A and B are shown apart, each in its own frame.
Chain A
Amino acid sequence: MSLPAGGARIIDRGYQHYEGNRLGQGHSFWVMVRGGVTRGMGIRRPLRTKVLPWLLLLAAIGAVLITVAAHEANPAGAAAPPTYAQFLGNGAFGLLLALFAALVAPDLLCPDRRERVLALYFAAPITRRHYALARLVSMSLLLLGLSLVPPVLLFASNALFSSSATGYVQDHLHDLGHLGLSGVLMALFYGAIGCAVASFSDRRAVAAGSIIGALLVTGFAGAVIGEGLTFSGHQWFVLLDLQELPARVVRWLFGLPPMPPGRDLTPITLDGWAYLIGLLAIIGAGLGTLLWRYQRMES
């Protein structure tokens, strides 16, 4: 093809039809998941939407780095870095995940309903089930970043500052597996609760308050009924304590008793499996609630 004379160029090619391949439903699903992840972290959004999610992530990473650095700088004076079970089973870490879920899950779900964008999404080749699942996967992936990156960083620091990094990794591979499993379970747990609760409100603030409220109320109810009372079968009520449930599963996964010793006013003898099944049941219930809400929702 010859070059146009005198630097002439085509400005407007007119409307072009698309003759290429149209990708399927799986592609649309992952587009929605990717969109949820970028939205959750405030990417290509105003600065105010980026601050809190990044702050929470950096706080979790910062806590690990500061503890390890302080210990390495002054091994005698500073406290030793926490064990993996101590780190993941810590109430502050659970609170961090809960805050992140309360911040991001409403942001993923509420504006789409309030601004009626669902009418456009449901007119695209995706189903309501795909939409709800994609939002849950996005939320869980974001939480996975928070529940995996800091403990893996702790693992890497421990390996780095041990006498033999490769030896440490070889000796603690099982810990790495437990870290991965704990991270996935915690991400799914807080993701399912966050999305399920957020599906009941169009307003972000109401949904965020409801998520935190649900965790506080169940935590209080579980502690009072399960640990404070002594009627037959009272101990099953500790499974209602959604604040503590993931930490108890994590402790059990790392070979510790699910309930910290001396904590319970009346003896709790539930096996770790009971906590794990309770956690999976909560994840299932959250997913079921989310799908049910979106199946009934008007577009």
Chain B
Amino acid sequence: MSLPADASSPAAALEPVIMVTRMSKRFGRVRALVDASLTIGPGCTGLLGANGAGKSTLIKLVLGLLAPDAGEARIAGLDPVKQPLALRALVGYMPEHDCLPSDWLAQDFVRYMGELHGLPRRVAIQRANDTLYHVGLGEERFRAIGGFSTGMKQRVKLAQALVHDPTIMLLDEPTNGLDPAGRDEMLDLIARVTNQMGIHVLLSSHLLADVERVAGSVVIMAGGQVMVQGSLAELMTATPQVIVRTHEPPAALQRALERRGLTVRLDELDLQVAFETPDVFDAIRDAAVETGTGLTYLKRRVRTLEDIYLAGQDPTPVSAAS
């Protein structure tokens, strides 16, 4: 079995972790994935999309659990169609749905999954204990999974995906069914997996806030198509607009800015002033003094993930470069 380069090496850091090229998949008359191409780099990447967008299908294709109708993929350099077993030894998978055997002890099940992924028994026992400790179930590891809360079950699912020290983890809706505190803890754990354990993560979710909190990059899907992809830093760039919020009604300020030759648009109670040169801030200050308007907010507008997500629902796919 050929193993990929050490994920922590500089060379590995530059290589894409997952590459999907023009992949399609149909289920009968339903087109679940349509000509999808994407490149996922190191770190944590969010896979965003509404229910039915094709996220779970993409994950199953990438894992080799489904065969694509067209296209190909490479995960850590391995082909999921031709080398599914070698690939799965290096990947940790946490499905969206309930998938834990209720009458197993947590430690037994996590150890068993470690052994199935090729760990010797003694190592698997040690790593099962360590992993359950890392996910916060050190004390409960000898209890039957059937008696666990939803949050504890999600942690067991994470532990079984982590026990064999995967290079990549595919997490499908890991915060499903969790209360706000449980969701917070799960996202902290995922951030630890990426930042402290050095494991690449593909986090599938329909929750913008989850992705925004832990992911460095994002892929947005809609109707089985990849609509947007890129790093959040690139996608959430400053836009050519300055947002001005005033204490008083902004009509006088708007007129004063327009007299100075600036393009101004009223968006509900905010003024959106076109950012052409940095002098625009001086012009706004002077116009505010001239009209006696108090400014309560003045900032160049940055695109939010919500903007990007909503733009991603547009049928024209875009990327960070566009």
The residue from A16, A22, A122 contacting B65, defined by CB atoms under 8 A apart? A122
- Whether the Cβ atoms of B130 and A16 lie closer than 8 Å is yes
Stretch at the interface among A44-52, A94-102, A211-219, A276-284: A44-52
Query: Does chain B have a CB within 8 A of A14?
Result: yes
> Of B65, B102, B165, which one neighbours A299 at CB under 8 angstroms?
B65
Instruction: Check: A67 CB closer than 8 A to any chain B CB.
Output: no
Whether A112 lies near B101 (C-beta < 8 A) is yes
A22-B118 contact, Cβ under 8 Å, with A44-B108, A117-B99, A124-B113: yes
**Cβ–Cβ contact A14 & B196, under 8 A:** yes
Stretch touching chain B among A25-33, A232-240, A251-259, A265-273: A25-33
The winner among A46, A111, A115 for most chain B CB atoms within 10 A is: A115
Chain B residue with minimal CB distance to A127? Answer: B85
Closest approach, in angstroms, between the C-beta of B2 and any C-beta of chain A?
Answer: 12
A17 to B8, CA, bound (A): 11
B165 touches A18 (CB 8 A): yes
When distances are taken between beta carbons in the complex, the residues of chain B under 8 Å from A24 are 1, 118
**The one of B1, B86, B115, B164 that contacts A18, using a Cβ cutoff of 8 Å:** B164
Residue of B nearest to A31 (CB): B115
Cβ contacts B227-268/A at 8 Å (1 or 0 each): 000000000000000000000000000000000000000000
In the complex, whether A76 has a CB less than 8 A from a CB of chain B is: no
Contact across chains for A119 and B99 when beta carbons are under 8 A apart: yes
Of B35-43, B47-55, B67-75, B89-97, the one touching chain A: B89-97
Q: Is B134 among interface residues, defined by CB-CB distance under 8 A?
A: yes
B105 at the interface (CB under 8 A from A): yes
B127 within 8 A of A: yes
What is the size, in residues, of chain B's interface with A at 8 Å between Cβ atoms? 38
- Decide: B118 and A28 in contact? CB cutoff 8 A: yes
B200 CB-CB contact with A under 8 Å:
no
* A111 close to B118 (CB less than 8 A): no
| Residues of the B chain whose Cβ atoms lie less than 8 Å from the Cβ of A123 | 63, 65, 88, 91, 93, 95
Chain B minimum-CB-distance residue to A19: B165
Return 22 A-B CB contacts under 8 Å, by A number. A15-B197, A17-B197, A17-B198, A18-B123, A18-B164, A23-B119, A24-B1, A27-B118, A28-B118, A46-B144, A111-B101, A111-B103, A115-B101, A115-B102, A116-B97, A117-B99, A117-B101, A119-B95, A119-B99, A120-B95, A123-B88, A299-B65
In the complex, what residues of B have CB within 8 A of residue A122's CB? Answer: 65
Please indicate the chain A residues that have their CB under 8 angstroms from the CB of B101 in the complex: 111-112, 115, 117
Whether A205 is near chain B, meaning CB under 8 Å from some CB there, is no
10 pairs of A and B residues whose beta carbons are closest in the complex: A22-B118, A123-B93, A18-B165, A124-B116, A125-B85, A31-B115, A15-B197, A125-B89, A125-B88, A23-B118
Q: Give the CA-CA distance A24 to B1 in the complex, in Å.
A: 8
The count of residues in chain A whose C-beta lies closer than 8 Å to any C-beta of chain B is: 35
Distance in angstroms between the alpha carbons of A117 and B99 in the assembled complex: 5
Nearest A residue (CB) for B89: A125
Which residues of chain A have C-beta atoms less than 8 A from B103's C-beta?
Answer: 45-46, 49, 111
Tell me whether A22 and B99 are in contact (CB under 8 A).
no
**Secondary structure call for the A interface:** loop
Are B165 and A125 in touch, CB under 8 angstroms?
Answer: no
Least CB separation from B196: chain A residue: A15
The answer, among A22, A31, A111, for a CB contact under 8 Å with B1, is: A22
What B residues does A25 contact at CB under 8 A?
Answer: 85
Q: Could you mark each residue 102-133 of chain B with 1 if its beta carbon is under 8 Å from any beta carbon of chain A, else 0? A: 11010010001101111110010001001000
Q: Per a CB cutoff under 8 Å, which of A20, A23, A31 touches B112?
A: A31
Q: Which residues of chain B are near A112, meaning CB under 8 Å?
A: 101
- Complex Cα distance, B98 from A125, in Å, reads 21
- Contact residues in A for B164 (Cβ distance below 8 Å): 18, 22
In the complex, whether B100 has a CB less than 8 A from a CB of chain A is yes
> Are B95 and A28 interface neighbours, CB within 8 A?
no
0 or 1 for each of A109-147: is its CB under 8 Å from B? (1 = yes) = 001100111011111111100000000000000000000
Closest residue of chain A to B112, judged by CB?
Answer: A35
Q: Which residues of A contact B93 (CB under 8 A)?
A: 119-120, 123
1/0 contact string of B126-166 vs chain A (CB within 8 Å): 01001000100000000010000000000000001000110
Bound CA span A125–B116, Å: 7
A251 smallest CB distance to B (angstroms): 41
- Rounded to whole angstroms, the CA-CA distance of A108 and B123 in the bound complex is 26
A204 to chain B minimum Cβ distance, whole angstroms, is 12
Could you give, for residues 1-44 of chain A, a 1 whenever the CB lies within 8 Å of some chain B CB and a 0 otherwise?
A: 00000000000001111101111110110011001000000001
A44 to B142 alpha-carbon distance, docked (Å): 10
Query: Cβ of B134: which chain A residues have Cβ within 8 Å of it?
Result: 15
Chain A residues within 8 Å of B130, by CB: 15-16
Q: How far is the CA of A124 from the CA of B197 in the complex (A)?
A: 21
Is there an interface contact between A124 and B1, defined as CB atoms closer than 8 Å?
no
For residue B100, which residues in chain A have a CB less than 8 angstroms away from its CB? 115, 117
Instruction: Kindly state the separation between the CA atoms of A21 and B164 in the bound complex, as whole angstroms.
Output: 11
- Which residues of chain B come closer than 8 Å to A31, judged between CB atoms? 112, 115-116
B116 touches A126 (CB 8 A): yes
Interface pair B165/A120, CB less than 8 Å apart: no
Q: Given the complex, which residues of B lie within 8 Å of A28, measured CB to CB? A: 115-118
B121 to A: closest C-beta gap in Å:
8
